[in-house]
Amino acid sequence: MPSRRRPTRAGWALGLAFVTAAAVAGVLATRVGADPSSTPPPTPVPPSGSPSPFPTVLHTPSPSTAQPSVRAPPAVLADLDTGQVLYQRGAGVRHPVASLTKVMTALLVLERVRLSDVITVRTDATREGGARLGLHAGETIPVRDLLYALLLQSSNDAAIALADHVAGSAGRFVDLMNRRAAELGMDRTAFASPDGLDDRGTSTANDLLTLTRAASASPVFDRIAGTKTFDIPNPSGPVRHVQNRNPLLWLYPGATGVKTGFTAAAGYSVIATATRGGVRLVAVVLEDPVEDTSFDDAAALLDHGFFAYHRRTLVQTGESLGLVRVDGHPVEVIAGDTVRWLVPTGAAVARSLTPDAGLRLPVTAGAVLGQEILSVAGRPVASVPAVAHRSVQVPAPPPVRRPTAPSPLDVLAALARGLFGGLV
């Protein structure tokens, strides 16, 4: 790992020129496929600027089927669409999550109000510290603009203004946040504010994965979280130009979002999503000690996922699974669902049909008769119901042969045999 030292603001122009020249010359090991000239500007939060310039290059190992070594204590990599976990370390341990909190704030806003709603900013929002849009008490502003400020430059005053609009106060909004977290199954999460600035809100990498999947189900959330810059009108000055604080949108090919976070207690954290070849991945990195390495860790995890796994359809709805014997009669079963899975390169895929016990005729088409167990590299990963392809009735019993009345000749022959025995 090359050593890195943050440039001072005075030396930023010289440092940027050196980095760009080195990248072009091939001296610095930049990411394959990234455009070295497409880097985020150094001051992403006008007018006061960022505490330090954004990184202009990612330092990651070559993509490999071997799991990468990441420095962040808790981290998780998963399929954004299915939730399939590809890598995890310390993913169930609770940590402060700083501005990653704002993903839940955005989710609740999108679920409860319209983007076109116009908010009148209250005084409590203007008093919030940290990263700010610069809202004024009494200012009117659409929800849409506040969501861009919330997710791009992590504006804390926007978070409070949105919370006031949705719930009437920040405190009541926090109650909604924790209620929604419980509904999502985020059982190791407790929010304490709409913006995370208080350092009291805690969650886990696994819970934040769950939250990100829920938020990313909204195309509006995805569009906003993946926007690099956005202009917001200012009623008392020049337009407010907000820039996304996620440099992966510039540096990582296919990056789509989602959110960064930092406080002294939480360290540097990032939820990073990316899409390639129809595969959507999400990496959650918490409590990285250095800002740049949090992005490096996220990029290394995403690289591993895209390189080491391939999407495969393990079974398709309606696909024949074979025969199940019911009361001794063969009944064809088909797959009741489709399973698409990220399969490690070279891993064997196996399937086995397990009929339910106690099956009896008749069978109705679509009735579940068992399960098709799907295994990857010898480990069961999913199952689908095996359903009857057609209805099968109880077979009708064979016809009973009734005796017919004997003819007169039969009667005479029987009488003769009785009288004369073996002579007839």
270 & 384 share domain: no
351 & 228 share domain: no
Quote the pTM value: 0.82
284 & 340 share domain: no
Q: Which residue from 374, 357, 362 is spatially nearest to 321, judged by alpha carbons?
A: 374
Cα–Cα distance measured from residue 329 to residue 393, given in angstroms and rounded to the nearest whole number: 10
Find out whether 161 and 120 touch, Cβ atoms under 8 Å.
no
Here the CATH number for the domain that contains residue 264 is 3.40.710.10
In a domain, 422, yes or no: no
The pLDDT of residue 55 is: 83
Q: Which residue from 295, 296, 299 is spatially nearest to 276, judged by alpha carbons?
A: 299
Catalytic residue among 102, 155, 193, 269: 102
In a domain, 39, yes or no: no
297 & 350 share domain: no
135 & 173 share domain: yes
User: What residues contact 112, with CB distance under 8 A and at least 6 apart?
Assistant: 166
Task: Indicate the Cα dihedral angle 184, 72, 273, 2, nearest 10°.
Answer: 180
Domains identified in the chain, total number: 2
141 & 205 share domain: yes
In a domain, 75, yes or no: yes
Here the CATH number for the domain that contains residue 328 is 2.60.410.10
164 & 279 share domain: yes
Domain boundary among 309, 330, 345: 309
Query: Which ranges of 120-264 would DSSP assign to H, the alpha helix?
Result: 123-126, 143-152, 156-167, 170-183, 205-216, 219-225, 248-251
Average pLDDT over residues 236-242: 92
How high is the mean pLDDT of the chain?
A: 87
* pLDDT band (50, 70, 90) for residue 56: confident
In a domain, 348, yes or no: yes
151 & 173 share domain: yes
In a domain, 121, yes or no: yes
In a domain, 145, yes or no: yes
β-bridge pairing 75-79 and 267-276? unpaired
In a domain, 1, yes or no: no
Q: How many helices (H) and strands (E) does the chain have?
A: 11, 18
Average pLDDT over residues 363-381: 97
Beta strands in 305-392 (DSSP E): 309-315, 320-326, 329-335, 339-344, 349-355, 368-376, 379-388
Q: Is 193 a catalytic residue?
A: no
> How far, in Å, are 6, 37, 405 from residue 3 at the CA level?
10, 22, 109
In a domain, 97, yes or no: yes
Sign, Cα dihedral of 298, 304, 307, 310: negative
> How far, in Å, are 15, 49, 89, 221, 223 from residue 72 at the CA level?
27, 26, 9, 26, 28
Q: Which residue from 358, 339, 361 is spatially nearest to 349, judged by alpha carbons?
A: 339
pLDDT at 151 over 70: yes
The model's pLDDT over 155-186, given as tens digits with 9 standing for 90+, comes to 999 999 999 999 999 999 999 999 999 999 99
Find out whether 395 and 329 touch, Cβ atoms under 8 Å.
yes
Cα–Cα distance measured from residue 176 to residue 167, given in angstroms and rounded to the nearest whole number: 8
Q: Is 154 a catalytic residue?
A: yes
Catalytic residue among 37, 38, 48, 154: 154
The pLDDT of residue 30 is: 35
Q: In which domain, by residue range, is 361 found? A: 316-388
> How far, in Å, are 41, 124, 368, 390 from residue 347 at the CA level?
43, 56, 29, 34
Domain boundary among 309, 343, 376: 309
Q: Which residue from 79, 263, 248 is spatially nearest to 154, judged by alpha carbons?
A: 263
Beta-bridge partner residues of 214 = none
293 & 338 share domain: no
Q: Is 228 a catalytic residue?
A: no
242 & 321 share domain: no
pLDDT at 223 over 90: yes
333 & 305 share domain: no
pLDDT at 9 over 70: no
Catalytic residue among 3, 50, 99, 228: 99
* pLDDT band (50, 70, 90) for residue 42: low
Sign, Cα dihedral of 46, 47, 51, 53: positive
The pLDDT of residue 408 is: 77
254 & 289 share domain: yes
